Amino acid sequence: MAAKGKTLLKVTGILLLVVASLSLLLALLAFASGGSAFAAGGYDDDIKAELLKRAMDYILLGSAAFLGGAVNLTTGIFGLRYAARPEKANRCLVMGVIAVSLDVLLFFWGLLRFRGFGGPLGNLLLLPLLICYLVGAVMNRQDTPAKDN
């Protein structure tokens, strides 16, 4: 018997892998930009001090993108690997909950840090994909055969 959420988990898993790889590339770019700005900054004058602040922003943004990308990559791999196995649906469900909660946390952190919707807009756009992943995991969990005691 095929699991009900198999297709939904596979499709969202593939999309999460694509999003996660882009997020990890963005994190590397932010780390490189932050590192070069940090090397050019200093406390000699106001312009160099502002450059240090920008460097810290880039490094924090890179850290958030790296953390979100790593969690989304793991979630996508779990979705692809365990889509056809309803007995492993709890793993997908736990990873989905972790990914959604981290996405919401990073959204609110971005609102506070960057004072607007420009920075955390990606987190808001990712939320429907993660909710679809959770729906697929719940559908797979409902297909889990009952254990005999």
Taking residues 18-22, report their average pLDDT.
93
Asked, for residue 79, whether it belongs to a domain, the answer is: yes
Residue 37 has a pLDDT of 74
Question: Is residue 34 domain-resident?
Answer: no
**Quick check: 141 pLDDT over 90?**
no
Residue 17 located in a structural domain: yes
| pLDDT at 78 exceeding the cut of 80 | yes
Determine the average pLDDT of the residues in 79-85. 89
Q: In the prediction, which pLDDT does 143 show?
A: 74
> Does residue 149 fall inside a structural domain?
no
The reply to whether 76 falls in a domain is yes
Contact 19, 127 (CB under 8 A): no
- Asked if the model's pLDDT at residue 149 lies above 70, the reply is no
Give residue for tokens 């679809």.
Answer: 132
Q: Is residue 57, in this structure, part of any structural domain at all? A: no
Domain count, the chain: 1
For 102, the domain range is 6-24+63-142
Going by C-beta distance under 8 Å and a sequence separation of 6 or more, which residues neighbour residue 117? 111, 124
Q: Give the pLDDT score at 1.
A: 55
pLDDT digits (tens, 9 = 90+) for 21-72: 998 998 888 888 877 777 776 667 777 777 777 778 778 888 888 998 999 9
Does residue 53 belong to any structural domain of this protein?
no
Residue 76 pLDDT: 93
Q: Is residue 31 part of a domain?
A: no
Residue 78 near residue 91 (C-beta atoms within 8 A): yes
